[in-house]
Amino acid sequence: MSYTAAASAPGGHQIDIAVLASGSGTNLQALIDDSDIRPHIVAVLSDRPGVGALERAKHAGIRTHVTSWSDYATRAEFSAALADVVEETGAKGVVLAGFMRILSPAFIDRFPGRILNVHPSLLPAFPGAHAVEMAVEHGVKVTGVTVHIVDEKVDHGPIIAQQAVDMEVGDTVESLHERIKVVEHEIYPRVVRAFVGETLNI
């Protein structure tokens, strides 16, 4: 599997994206800072009010919306409401950037093959919310970053790009995650550029 870095497919068609984020939003910032991607980010959506990602979006003049997890009784209802918001923005693609909720299969079905995720490990190793902690606990010598298309399983689906990050002597979860994020901020914009330009070869 490979991806190309071309800005757009022959004919120049590009798609708009909604970015979903739950946290500090450093990956979102890397996307905002890419001049090929920024014009295509039509909204930043979160499951939590007050997070750094929303502030970064507002600062960049991007529309924001919170679909609060706690307002819904079930994952299915939360996901349906969120999918409605994505559709309403006109986005054709969904980019998860530190989004910490599992989306329902119905959400995935509404954007088939059009949801990207970045994960802080070399999948299929260490799926889930504690990938960096698990890598440190297991004492692996190499971990890394994976960018993949989202399917109905957690941290699963066709892999688009991976890059290794070496463990260093004395690494803590924090120091390792910091180096992982440096790599994320390089490879995620490259893939998202191709995604927006519809030149991803899966």
Query: Hunting for tokens 């970015």 — which residue is that?
Result: 19
How many residues contact ligand GRF, by CB under 6 A? 13
Candidate list 13, 40, 65, 119, residue with the active-site label = 119
Sequential DSSP letters for 36-56: TTGGGEEEEEESSTT-HHHHH
Nearest CB to ligand GRF, comparing residues 83 and 187: 187
Query: Catalytic: 119?
Result: yes
> In the bound complex, what is the minimum distance in angstroms from residue 27's beta carbon to ligand GRF?
3
Nearest CB to ligand GRF, comparing residues 133 and 198: 133
What is the x/- site pattern for ligand GRF, positions 7-46, by CB under 6 A? --------------x-xxxxx-------------------
Kindly tell me the burial class for residue 32, based on how many C-beta atoms sit within 10 Å of its own C-beta (0-12, 13-18, 19 or more). Answer: buried
Task: Report the site for ligand GRF in 56-95 (rule: CB under 6 A).
Answer: none
Structure token pair of residue 103: 């989306």
Nearest CB to ligand GRF, comparing residues 165 and 194: 165
> In the bound complex, what is the minimum distance in angstroms from residue 30's beta carbon to ligand GRF?
8
15 vs 165: CA distance, rounded Å? 31
Asked if 42 and 60 touch (Cβ cutoff 8 Å), the reply is no
Q: Which residue, among 62, 121, 139, 50, has the nearest Cα to 95 in the 3D structure?
A: 62
75 vs 83: CA distance, rounded Å? 12
Q: With contacts defined by CB under 6 A, name the span among 7-15, 58-66, 118-126, 165-173 that binds ligand GRF.
A: 118-126
Nearest CB to ligand GRF, comparing residues 14 and 51: 51
Catalytic residues: 119
